């Protein structure tokens, strides 16, 4: 196994660390769950607007119209997917003995959004490490750091929704495997044929999906789960953690 592929596997595998943290002990309280949802929204907003979209717009050969057009396409794509999924009015969402389908639906959407982000991230990690191993090591480390709260953000809500640790690990694992899949695809197929325009367009669209998911799904549900506390605290903490991760990426020469 090549070293760049191994780095991608380790970075994606860090998601399981966060997933285990999300299922240790008893099911999270409403307050903790609302904080986790806000935390996930903060992560997704910051990484979408301050990493993915700017990187997409500055990709070689990318026009502003195409970049912003793909961002809007991601927004519209999210709402199209949202309409296909059944809605439930959140009455007694977290009552004992009740299966919180809204929460499970949100966790699945969150897994989808993070997975779509992680796939091109896995490609980028592998391609960078292939051209510069030292730089790739720094990127893989920073990616692994911010994959830990992502795993927690997926596993926590899914565990609360189903009461099943195995299902929580499974869905969190999907988001981590998406990154590993990106690295494997780059290793097997893409290699030097990765087009900056295609990568940029993909990143812009995924950024749109993640912004819509955060604003339309995560933040409102955090308020519904725990109406007595402000979900903005979780949002701000998520942004702070992701900001630290992005600082590590930039100090490695990327950004």
Provide the pLDDT for residue 76.
92
| Euclidean distance between CA atoms 234 and 120, whole angstroms | 26
Confidence (pLDDT) at 163: 78
For a pLDDT cut of 90, what percent of the chain falls above it?
7
Q: How confident is the model at residue 141 (pLDDT cuts 50, 70, 90)?
A: confident
The first and second tokens of residue 114, run together, are 């993070």
Position 244 scores a pLDDT of: 81
Computed over every residue of the chain, the mean pLDDT equals 77
**CA pair distance 94, 155, nearest whole angstrom:** 16
**Which pTM does this prediction carry?**
0.64
Sign of CA dihedral 160, 81, 116, 76: negative
Helix (H) or strand (E) holding 42: helix 30-47
Cα dihedral across residues 51, 57, 62, 67: positive or negative: positive
In angstroms, rounded to a whole number, what is the distance separating the alpha carbons of residues 227 and 24? 25
pLDDT surpassing 70 at residue 88: no
Which candidate, 144, 118, 193, places its Cα nearest to that of 6? Answer: 144
CA dihedral 87→25→114→96, nearest 10 degrees, is 0
Q: Quick one: pLDDT band at residue 224, thresholds 50, 70, 90?
A: confident
Reported as a pLDDT band with limits 50, 70 and 90, residue 44 is: confident
Per the CB < 8 A criterion, the answer to whether 183 and 5 are in contact is yes
pLDDT category at 194 given cuts 50, 70, 90 is low
Q: How many CA atoms lie within 13 A of 74 on its CB side?
A: 28
Measured distance CA(17)–CA(118) in Å, rounded? 16
The torsion of the CA quartet 166, 96, 238, 185, rounded to 10 degrees, works out to 30
At residue 132, the pLDDT reads 64
Question: How many whole angstroms separate alpha carbon 99 and alpha carbon 115?
Answer: 25
Beta-carbon contacts of 196 under 8 Å, excluding residues fewer than 6 positions away, are: 59, 60, 61, 62
């Amino acid at each position: 196994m090549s070293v760049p592929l191994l780095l991608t596997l380790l970075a994606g595998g860090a998601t399981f660390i966060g997933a285990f943290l999300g299922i240790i002990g008893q099911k999270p309280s409403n307050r903790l769950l609302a904080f986790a949802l806000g935390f996930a929204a903060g992560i997704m907003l910051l990484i979408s607007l301050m990493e993915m979209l700017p990187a997409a717009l500055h990709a070689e050969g990318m026009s502003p119209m195409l970049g912003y057009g793909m961002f809007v396409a991601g927004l519209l794509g999210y709402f199209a997917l949202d309409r296909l999924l059944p809605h439930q009015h959140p009455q007694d969402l977290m009552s004992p003995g009740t299966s919180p389908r809204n929460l499970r639906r949100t966790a699945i959407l969150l897994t989808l959004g993070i997975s779509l982000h992680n796939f091109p991230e896995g490609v980028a990690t592998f391609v960078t490490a292939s051209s510069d191993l030292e730089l790739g090591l720094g990127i893989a480390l920073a990616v692994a750091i911010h994959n830990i709260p992502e795993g927690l953000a997926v596993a926590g809500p899914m565990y609360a929704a189903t009461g099943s640790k195995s299902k929580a690990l499974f869905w969190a694992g999907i988001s981590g495997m998406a990154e590993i899949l990106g690295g494997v695809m780059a290793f097997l197929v893409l290699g030097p044929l990765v087009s900056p325009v295609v990568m940029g367009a993909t990143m812009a669209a995924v950024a749109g999906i993640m912004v819509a998911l955060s604003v339309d799904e995560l933040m409102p549900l955090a308020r519904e789960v725990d109406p007595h506390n402000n979900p903005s605290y979780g949002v701000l903490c998520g942004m702070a953690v992701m900001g630290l991760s992005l600082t590590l990426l930039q100090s490695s020469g990327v950004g």
